[in-house]
Chain A
Amino acid sequence: EAAVTQSPRNKVTVTGGNVTLSCRQTNSHNYMYWYRQDTGHGLRLIHYSYGAGNLQIGDVPDGYKATRTTQEDFFLLLELASPSQTSLYFCASSDARQTNSDYTFGSGTRLLVI
């Protein structure tokens, strides 16, 4: 079954720390996305990519970098983590070559920055 797998499931880091969130999809989808989900704000798009080596800026990119190393793998990097980045992070994939393609989401990574 097509899937999106995120790791780690939970992460605690200190302010100023370095964090990498990983995402792998087995859907053969071209697009991958990183969202954060916060109470009162819903899901907000951080970065997305339409293929290996490509990166597009989302709606809330400040403080985040991302890298798409292969068709399957998309990483989110927080190089100087701040408490404001405490959130629930979701990765998703979609096949934008198909009209009306839905997104497949991972189970999320809960990040706490103390």
Chain B
Amino acid sequence: QEKVQQSPESLIVPEGAMSSLNCTFSNSASQSIWWYQQHPGKGPEALISIFSNGNKKEGRLTVYLNRASLHVSLHIRDSQPSDSAVYLCAVPNSAGNKLTFGIGTRVLVRP
């Protein structure tokens, strides 16, 4: 079973700042790694995924993956109050049919 650890547990940032979240995983042979966003009372929603080492940018989001160090990070540029949510790192098994989730990082963006 995959092990997924996220840090920090929580993060408070001022509006307009960068939010930086980290995730380590146990299996370097994993397929695409996902980040999900979860607002209170809602189910998680997929934000962005990355497969290859390096970085991937989509809008205000940038993801960095280093499989050798079993580490992936998510960076949210120009954070907005609407970005306040729990962010979940999700790593698939080798068959790609099961996701293991981290406990999450709670982000609060202060206006």
List residues of A whose CB falls within 8 A of some B CB: 4, 31, 33, 35, 40-43, 45, 48, 50, 58-59, 90, 92, 96, 99-100, 102-108
Is B88 touching A102 in the complex (CB atoms < 8 A)?
no
**Interface size counted on chain B using CB atoms at 8 A:** 24
Given the contacts A90-B43, A99-B96, A43 and B34 also touching, CB distance less than 8 Å:
no
List residues of B whose CB falls within 8 A of some A CB: 1, 31-32, 34, 36, 41-46, 49, 51, 88, 90, 96-104
List chain B residues, Cβ under 8 A from A4.
43
Is B97 touching A103 in the complex (CB atoms < 8 A)?
no
7 more contacts with CB within 8 A, not counting A58-B98, A108-B41, are A40-B103, A45-B98, A99-B31, A100-B32, A102-B49, A105-B43, A107-B43
Which of A42, A48, A100 meets B101, CB within 8 Å?
A42
Which of A42, A45, A58 meets B88, CB within 8 Å?
A42
